[in-house]
Each structure stands twice: as structure tokens, then as C-alpha cells.
Amino acid sequence: APWYDADIERIILSAEDIADKTAELAKQIDADYADTDGLLLVGLFKGAVMFMADLARALTIPVELEFMDLSSYGSKATSSGVVRVLKDLDTDIRDRHVLVVEDIVDSGLTLSWLLKYLPSRYPASVEVISMVRKPKALEAKVPVKYVGFDVPDEFVVGYGMDFAERYRELPFIGILKPEVYES
């Protein structure tokens, strides 16, 4: 069995659930952007890497891939909303249709900052897709146009999501056993 099996309390979204949802979202995005010259996918390191790769391959419209690396100061829970840009866009997004790709929206802090920053580059449009969303983000009404799944407020890992940089490679999304992060 894979090394991580013993650390997972339960699987909440299987690889098949994720693949089916990705296909469904891609179909919707294909239709929504059918009249454009294509889409610039902006993925956020490192969590969004898996979803970015799968979504890009599920779409049938032309896409280009860009990545940014953002980091919020200190603890997310107490952060004042300050975000550092560790890696900026490599390309001019002016007049481009931008779709920000995320693995998870939790407090919404990362996205709220980004959605204020991107318009200063004059894109034609900016929308957000996230594979999962936590209750906090739903309550805070963070504008995520395309959401895969709403998940409970538990410690979810896998499909890009980590605990101390581990578990990102899990092909499913699962809940981490408390003894793993409490020790």
C-alpha cells in the first residue's frame, strides 16, 4: 500500500470523483469561453499544480499556462491580509481572459488579494476556479465562479494540498488523521 494510507482518516473525494468533476467543469468553461480567443490559466504554486495539469488537458479551447507563487505573512488565521509575491506572472495579461486556478479556497485571503492585484494589469476578464472550497470561503462570499466541491472544515490533504509539504501527491482528497498534525 502507498506510504500515506496509514495517515488518512478517510477519503472524501476519490480520483474518479475528481476526474468526473474536472470533465464537467471543463465542459462548462469550454462553453463559457467559446466566443473568445482562448484562456490564460493562472495557477498558484504549489497547491494548484495537479488541478492545473488536469484541467488544461480536459479543456478543448486553446489555453496558455502561467504560474504565480504567493505567500501570506505569518499565520493565515491571524493574517491582516498581506500577501507577498514570490513569483509574479511572466507574461502580459492585458486584454487576456484570465482564469485563476486553485486547489482550495479556505479563508479566501489569497484570492481576495489576487483579485485586487490582477485588474491593475488590465485583463479582459478574471474568474476563479477551485477544486474545493471550505465553509469560511462560502460564508465570506469569495467570488469563485467554478467550484468542484464544498468540503467540511476539516484537515484535507491530497491532489495538491499538503500538510508540512507532504501528501500533495495523493491522487484523492482525504482527511488527515488528527494524530498526524497534533504530534
Residues near ligand PRP (CB under 6 A) are: 44-47, 76, 102-110, 137, 162
Nearest residue to the partner Mg ion, using Cβ: 47
Annotated active-site residue 37? The verdict is no
**Residue 66 backbone phi and psi in degrees, to 5:** -130, 155
User: Quick check: 44 binds Mg ion (CB under 5 A)?
Assistant: yes
CB of 72 to ligand PRP, least distance (A): 6
Nearest residue to the partner ligand PRP, using Cβ: 47
CB of 136 to ligand PRP, least distance (A): 7
Cβ closest to ligand PRP, residue 54 vs residue 103 = 103
From Mg ion, ligand PRP, none, interface partner of 170 (C-beta below 5 to 8 A by class): none
Cβ closest to ligand PRP, residue 32 vs residue 162 = 162
CB of 149 to Mg ion, least distance (A): 17
Burial of 133 (0-12, 13-18, 19+ CB in 10 A): buried
| CA pair distance 56, 34, nearest whole angstrom | 15
Q: Which of 106, 150, 153, 162 is catalytic?
A: 106
Distance of CA 149 to CAs 5, 7, 65, 134, Å?
A: 22, 22, 23, 9
User: Quick check: 50 binds Mg ion (CB under 5 A)?
Assistant: no
User: Quick check: 43 binds Mg ion (CB under 5 A)?
Assistant: no
User: Quick check: 158 binds Mg ion (CB under 5 A)?
Assistant: no
Q: Which of 47, 148, 158, 174 binds Mg ion (CB under 5 A)?
A: 47
Cβ closest to Mg ion, residue 47 vs residue 174 = 47
Which residues form the catalytic set?
A: 106
